[in-house]
Amino acid sequence: MSASEHPSGISFEFFPPNTEAGREKLKGVRDQLAALEPEFFSVTYGAGGSTRERTFNTVQSVSASGICTAPHLSCVGSDRGELREILAQYREQGVKRLVALRGDLPSGMGSRSELRYANELVEFVREETGDHFEIAVAAYPECHPQADNYHSDLENFARKMQAGADIAITQYFFNADAYFHFVERARAAGIQQPIIPGIMPITNYTRLARFSDSCGADIPRWLRRQLESYGDDSESLQAFGTEVISRMSQRLLDGGAPGLHFYTLNQAEPCLKVLENLGISSR
């Protein structure tokens, strides 16, 4: 793809930093990525409201770049009143997009959720705020780890799209066929909205393996073994990771993916390298 075919669907996800140094660093990352004119930035949210203020402040800081910024909002561990307050706060702040999730409460944290699933949150946001927000929801090409089976997970996915979601962003994966299969099944189930693949740049094998196990993202054996073999040689690991992710991203775009959503982990370089390989750089 050449830079002139810049896809409109590039977006970047950040987490709310919890130190002053992290906040300063994120401003630099924001500016580097804003130069690519992405469609939006998004900022994660700790289920149960654990990052409520930090997410709010990060949304303010990130949106100062002029790029539309979508806070994530999860419903577990919060009651309707609390969610209503958060929505009002975001409306006041001029936020126009949301990523609506169920979330996962840390173990041991009791739940006082009134809304149990993301479809109920999407319904709630639509009831409370009409069409004000463009709503994104999560999708799982390799199946959500708690789902009974692939079929019921797809039905549950359809339920949240029908509740009023505008787009879906997938969990990351390393197998483009899982994405294509999922999109095909979703279209057969009548889901028309764009499904944006979530892209996780590979920078650290230990962290990636731990996180992938918990969120149900499969690292194929060939990739796992190759990454393991780099040991402490993070430079070679990252170079190989960039090659793998660039190749997969190109395949996704060639196969019709409407964009790419990068899990940045608050780092610009790994995303920029992949995008450069795709011929996408700042204009």
Q: Which residues form the catalytic set?
A: 13
| Sign, CA torsion 38/8/167/255 | negative
Residue 135 binds ligand FAD, judged by CB under 6 A: no
By CB under 6 A, name the one of 10, 26, 47, 178 that touches ligand FAD.
Answer: 47
Which of 159, 273 has the CB closer to ligand FAD?
Answer: 159
Q: Does 62 bind ligand FAD (CB under 6 A)?
A: no
| Binding status of residue 156 toward ligand FAD by CB under 6 A | yes
C-alpha to C-alpha distances, 249 to 6, 16, 40, 177, 198, nearest whole angstrom? 14, 26, 18, 12, 10
Which residues make Cβ contacts (< 8 Å) with residue 34, sequence separation at least 6? 41, 65, 66, 67
Q: Candidates 90-98, 138-146, 203-211, 231-239 — which segment interacts with ligand FAD by CB under 6 A? A: 138-146
50 touches ligand FAD by CB under 6 A: no
Count of residues touching ligand FAD (by CB under 6 A): 24
CA distances from 132 to 80, 128, 135, 161, 192 (A): 18, 9, 9, 17, 20
Q: Does 160 bind ligand FAD (CB under 6 A)?
A: yes
- Burial class, 190, CB count within 10 angstroms (exposed 0-12 / middle 13-18 / buried 19+): exposed
The stretch among 17-25, 83-91, 117-125, 267-275 that binds ligand FAD (CB under 6 A) is 117-125
Kindly state the smallest distance separating residue 13's Cβ from ligand FAD, in Å.
7
Closest Cα partner for 272 from 5, 30, 27? Answer: 30
Residues 82-101 that bind ligand FAD (CB under 6 A): 99, 101
Binding site for ligand FAD (CB under 6 A): 44-45, 47, 72, 74, 99, 101-104, 117-119, 138, 144, 146-147, 153, 156, 159-160, 169, 171, 198
